[in-house]
Amino acid sequence: SAVISQKPSRDICQRGTSLTIQCQVDSQVTMMFWYRQQPGQSLTLIATANQGSEATYESGFVIDKFPISRPNLTFSTLTVSNMSPEDSSIYLCSVEVVRIGKSSYEQYFGPGTRLTVT
Amino acid sequence: RKEVEQDPGPFNVPEGATVAFNCTYSNSASQSFFWYRQDCRKEPKLLMSVYSSGNEDGRFTAQLNRASQYISLLIRDSKLSDSATYLCVVNGMNTGFQKLVFGTGTRLLVSP
């Protein structure tokens, strides 16, 4: 597995402002992902962040709203831009780890950032 | 139709009971399957990967039926600490990065 930390753990922000969430992992990983979990719902993938290339966004998410950086193999940031109350959610990063011997991949999640936009 | 469907529950069971959760998925090209556990206000934690032959880890048994596109999780001898939401997760890629699709979860409440 991997040990993943996120900062901040929670924040309350005013509409129109931006927040940058940091994700740090204790080992080098190729693939990092950003998800959103809105209240009472399951996780939705925002984008995939591969080191050295532009992030790949899922349908309904755009770079201008959710710019992502991936400067190295242990770190990524997600910015939630020009926030509105609809952006209130938990934002989680995850990393993909190869399961040796099983030729499979598993994802592990950071503790999440709880964002409230007022 | 949702890509991954689960009964939301809640399942209320007494300690020591056996409980089973089911999940169906719509993408027949899916190659990897997982059960995650999510406690209230916490991140999802990987409980088990699900392999074609089925697999067991202590009190937990996972089964996969590709023909019916159906995954199950069986919990034996339920403990109070098993109370959580169980997420069925499926991906559609057989190599490389995984685009995981999450079910909405099945809530389990184990009572004394």
Residue numbers in B near A30 (CB within 8 A): 97
Among B residues 82-111, those touching chain A with beta carbons less than 8 Å apart: 87, 97-100, 102-105
pLDDT digits (tens, 9 = 90+) for A30-80: 889 999 999 888 899 999 998 888 899 999 999 999 999 999 999 999 999
The residue type of A74 is T
Nearest CA in chain A to B34: A106
Residue B96 has pLDDT above 60, yes or no: no
Cβ neighbours of residue B67 closer than 8 Å, sequence gap 6 or more: none
Q: What is the 3-state secondary structure (H, E, C) of chain B?
A: CCCEEECCCCEEEECCCCEEEEEEECCCCCCEEEEEEECCCCCCEEEEEECCCCEEECCEEEEEECCCCEEEEEECCCCHHHCEEEEEEEECCCCCCCCEEECCCEEEEEEC
B81 vs B103: CA distance, rounded Å: 22
Tokens 């009971």 belong to residue? B17
Nearest to B100 among A45, A99, A104 (CB): A45
CA distances from A7 to A19, A25, A89 (A): 11, 12, 15
Residue B94 has pLDDT above 60, yes or no: no
Q: What are phi and psi of A85, to 5 degrees?
A: -55, -30
pLDDT digits (tens, 9 = 90+) for A26-35: 999 988 999 9
Give the count of Cβ contacts less than 8 A between chain A and B. Answer: 48
A36 vs A33: CA distance, rounded Å: 10
Residue numbers in A near B104 (CB within 8 A): 41-42
Residue numbers in B near A1 (CB within 8 A): 46
